[in-house]
Amino acid sequence: MILIRIALVTAVLCAAGPAVADDATPDTAGGRYVFAKQADGFVRLDTQTGEVSLCGQKSVGWACEAAPEDRAVLESEIARLRTENATLKKDLPTSTAWSRSWITSGIGSLMRSSGRRSRS
């Protein structure tokens, strides 16, 4: 009777092992790749290059293919932001004296609106 129970417990544990292993998250601590489980495979992130790949079962086994990127959209947005940044920098005051007077007048206005007297 004890042998039957031992055999039964062993069989249950052996059957449950693969089911637990399927749900386990891969150990990626310190590794180059990070994997995320998807319905039909995995998404692989290369932590050194930032490249994303879609991995799945193929006719020849497991294979990963680079995920499609819309690089042109990203590049055009970067260019637009650079132009906007340059325009904003050009509009900033360049004179230190002008900046100090602008700050002083702003502080004076705040002091007057609060009822205090400025020391200028």
d(CA 120, CA 117): 9
Count of structural domains, the chain: 1
Residue 20 lies in a domain: no
Question: Is the CB of residue 33 less than 8 Å from the CB of residue 46?
Answer: yes
Domain that holds residue 71: 31-93
Residue 86 lies in a domain: yes
Q: What share of the chain is helix, strand, coil (3-state, %, to 5)?
A: 50, 20, 30
d(CA 108, CA 19): 72
Residue 36 lies in a domain: yes
- pLDDT digits over 28-42, tens only? 566 889 999 988 899
Question: Is the CB of residue 17 less than 8 Å from the CB of residue 24?
Answer: no
Residue 65 lies in a domain: yes
Could you list the pLDDT tens digit for every one of the 120 residues in the chain? Answer: 554 544 444 544 555 555 444 444 555 566 889 999 988 899 999 898 888 899 999 898 989 988 887 777 888 899 999 999 999 888 876 655 556 666 777 777 777 777 665 555
Residue 74 lies in a domain: yes
